[in-house]
Chain A
């Protein structure tokens, strides 16, 4: 999964912080996904700027995490969310 393109939330996807974690739900398919605090922060930034490369740069600047690990985690998250229809590639 490349971090080069842009992404956007899937259609019919809602997000809410509930019960100490964040829940993503696709209203159309019923697929849901729980995000921990870091995952929720990544999701919020992705939704806001839609550019994974920029999100990676911002997190690398703000958090004391090895860039390689951060990149792997972000890549995994995007792949998981895309696979479940919660995130889509933004071609526009």
Chain B
């Protein structure tokens, strides 16, 4: 029933369904705003059986998204003024694009992409604006720009102004794209459509397709803005992401009624024939089982279909990352020790900590 409610058709459940239980499950799976909105518009919405806390929760999410959207626009202008072309990722723009309403998607931060060479200027502008780094504290921006791969190249920043902390995830590497292509995407203010879709697929794959919210986003994307399938498949092949794209489309078809051409699936299947570990695809309705670092790297290795991408991934694996800095702060002169810290982190000995969720100060009607 939850899946039907989250589908692009938004099929309503039968009258006998317990709305409280459905909303609680939706909240667990991070799709509460969409489910609440659709249930509330149902002709048999049982106002008397649903506690006011759900409405308050929906409104709090809407207010948080309004805050994040306002702050994101301000930051994009700030970065532009600092000569840093930047792209908003996911977030409120995606919510507005896919659901026509930025209140219908849950989120806790704002994600922005800048090219690696502009990362120092971006960090300088954000820190001058009052943001402080939560990760990679003290790491020189030029060094930071050289770390990570498309799964982990980000730095968390936070601004605490009064009761409204805002989290920003600053990304500097998304896909194995030529620098020129990313520069023109930044200048245009948006990723080209095929790359935008591939980015969502990559995000879903990062959680082993075990996050319902990511699948729901993709299903709405396919339904609301059907891709040019040939261009999408070609972009996937060009970027070495055909395997991830093919798997994503098959998984979506398993959950949603979507029109995806057979020819596209067959074309992508040729890239997806490699044997993947059994842990490759998780159940989006169950807690995501954690993988050992070794299993995570084995999976990421297997998802890369080109030798060059695998070697690049391996090279990045051995380099100290922003997370290493957060896990074990060392004095500046001892930076070389991070090459050793990296090995401990690869073995899962040190953890970098967790993201905090900012809360708004009050809720009133």
- Chain A residues proximal to chain B, CB less than 8 Å: 14, 16, 18-21, 23, 25, 27-34, 80, 84
Contacts and interface: CB of A to CB of B under 8 A. Distances in A.
A25 B67 contact: yes
Contact of B37 (A19, A27, A30, A31): A19
B361 interface: yes
B364 A80 contact: yes
Contacts of A30: 67, 162-164, 360-362
B363 interface: yes
7 contacts: A16-B66, A20-B40, A25-B66, A27-B164, A32-B66, A32-B360, A34-B364
Contact of A84 (B41, B60, B364): B364
Contacts of A29: 162-164, 361-362
A18 to B, nearest CB: 4
Nearest to B161: A28
B224 to A, nearest CB: 18
Given A23-B66, A84-B364, 6 more contacts: A18-B65, A18-B66, A19-B58, A25-B67, A30-B362, A32-B59
Contacts of B63: 23, 25, 32
B206 to A, nearest CB: 28
Contacts of B33: 19
A32 B362 contact: yes
A33 B56 CA distance: 10
Given A19-B104, A23-B63, A25-B63, A31 B362 contact: yes
A23 B103 contact: yes
Contacts of A32: 59-60, 63, 66, 360, 362-364
B125 interface: no
A19 B362 contact: no
Interface in B280-298: none
Interface string B347-365: 0000000000000111111
- Greatest chain A CB density within 10 A among B58, B66, B70, B102 is at B66
Nearest to A35: B365
Interface string B86-129: 00000000000000011110000000000000000000000000
Contacts of A33: 364-365
A30 B66 CA distance: 11
Contacts of B37: 19-20
A21 B69 CA distance: 17
B62 interface: yes
Contacts of B104: 19
A33 B60 CA distance: 9
A71 B361 CA distance: 30
B103 A18 contact: yes
A31 B67 contact: no
Given A23-B66, A25-B66, A25-B67, A31 B102 contact: no
The 5 closest A-B pairs by CB, nearest first: A30-B361, A19-B103, A32-B63, A18-B103, A30-B163
A26 B143 CA distance: 38
Contacts of A19: 33, 37, 58-59, 62, 101, 103-104
Contacts of A84: 362, 364
B129 to A, nearest CB: 14
